[in-house]
Chains A and B, each alone.
Chain A
Amino acid sequence: MSKFKAKKQNIAIDMTPMVDLAFLLITFFMLTVKFRAPEAVEVHLPSSIADTPLPAQDILLISVSQDGRVFFGVDSKHTRLSILEKIRERFGYQFTEKEMQTFSVIAEIGVPFEQLKSYLSYGEAERKIVDKRSSIPVDSVNNQLKQWILFARYSNPKIRIAVRADEAAPYPVIARIIETLKEQKVHRFNLITTREAQPKS
């Protein structure tokens, strides 16, 4: 048993390649990253084998929360402003410059038309609180989602409709949305899901 002591040595590791790689990766991620728009509702998507990616533009998003509240969103700022203009024409609400600005950056909105003006005058924190309990009415007596879809389709005829619902959302709400779409002769729409492997047959 011969013991030998290794001489203490300062080992200098050349870190250059590691740093190179790290910065390469940073550059890659910085260029590819696309920040998710802040969403008003948290949604756990169900999974399916569908593998068609969602188109990036011209999307009308109907979100349904776990407790069955309905939200509406369009992707482009231009369309949003155009929708707000139609709401003004139709219901006679006057919006200030600041409220229009606020509306144009909100990704998803979930308040009845009657509360829209006051909702837009709130600060961000207050709006978040409202989002926790409000919803667009979809019942057959007061179907405001229908109006929203109508305005959106007038503003952008190319718009495609996608439903982004929580996997635990109650089906009757989904059925109401499908019914609403049918009433407007929309028979083709998309359900947003996460990817799941195709089972082997």
Chain B
Amino acid sequence: MAAEVGGDSGAPKKGKKKGKARKPKKRPRIDMTPMVDLGFLLLTFFVLTTTMTTPNTMPVVVPPKITEKDEVEPPKIAEGKVITLLVGRGKVYYYTGVENPELHQTDFSPKTGIRRVLLNRREEVKDRYGSEDEMIVIIKVMDEAQYKDFVDILDEMNIIQQKKYALVDITKEEADMVSDYKKSVNPS
């Protein structure tokens, strides 16, 4: 094929130079269309079946269970450093401190949601304790939540690079607090 587009394409060679009778060279032309068809069929198949997105994993560390025989007290932490998140379906309720906590509601939206809240709290903690690493986030996921909410909240921890956080079971008081809050916001 390359010969066809070569420089001397205009003048076909004649095999008659020295009087020898030569058979005119004939290129056997193979119809490549079926092969190309098949080729592209296979190509399409493999392109479509290949999953380019390899699954990624998010490592999770949960605190060990403290049982009575362990003789260890759960660690005590200063009230001023803590923010507690109660995660519901697509919603996050949060409060700071322990005494008479006031519940607020937010969501997972990137600019105005829980990330903003956590960063603000981090500033507060930094002003008070001198280091932003002091903040401790306590995450309690409610029964109404879906797995997505759970992943989202852990993801927020990774995004703001919050190292100190703990997954804790929700208490009855907190669940009641949330349902009271919901009633106060939406009385119907």
Q: Which A residues contact B (CB, under 8 angstroms)?
A: 14-16, 18-19, 22-23, 25-26, 29-30, 32-33, 35-36, 45-54, 64, 162, 164-172, 174-175, 178, 181-183, 185, 187-196, 198-199, 201
Contact = CB atoms under 8 A, between A and B. Distances in A.
Given A36-B51, A53-B54, A199-B110, A191 B43 contact: no
B57 interface: yes
Contacts of A35: 49
A171 B143 contact: yes
B47 A22 contact: no
Given A29-B50, A53-B57, A178-B62, A193 B1 contact: no
Interface stretch (B130-138, B145-153, B173-181): B145-153
B56 A54 contact: yes
7 A-B pairs with least C-beta separation? A29-B46, A50-B58, A167-B148, A190-B57, A171-B145, A169-B147, A48-B155
> Main SS of chain A's interface residues?
mixed
A182 B35 CA distance: 58
B185 interface: no
B46 A45 contact: no
B39 interface: yes
A164 B60 CA distance: 13
Nearest to A173: B147
B1 A198 contact: no
Contacts of A187: 61-64
B154 interface: yes
Q: Chain B contact residues (Cβ within 8 angstroms of A): what range? A: 35 or more
Contacts of A190: 57-60
B151 A25 contact: no
Contacts of B60: 188-191
B36 interface: yes
Contacts of A164: 55
A18 B32 CA distance: 11
Contact of A195 (B35, B53, B158): B53
B55 A54 contact: yes
A168 B143 contact: no
B56 A199 contact: no
B98 interface: no
B35 A19 contact: yes
A183 B147 contact: no
Contact of A26 (B46, B54, B64, B65): B46
B159 interface: yes
21 contacts: A18-B36, A22-B43, A26-B46, A29-B46, A33-B46, A33-B50, A36-B51, A45-B55, A46-B151, A48-B58, A49-B155, A49-B158, A50-B158, A52-B59, A168-B148, A171-B141, A187-B61, A189-B60, A191-B60, A196-B155, A199-B159
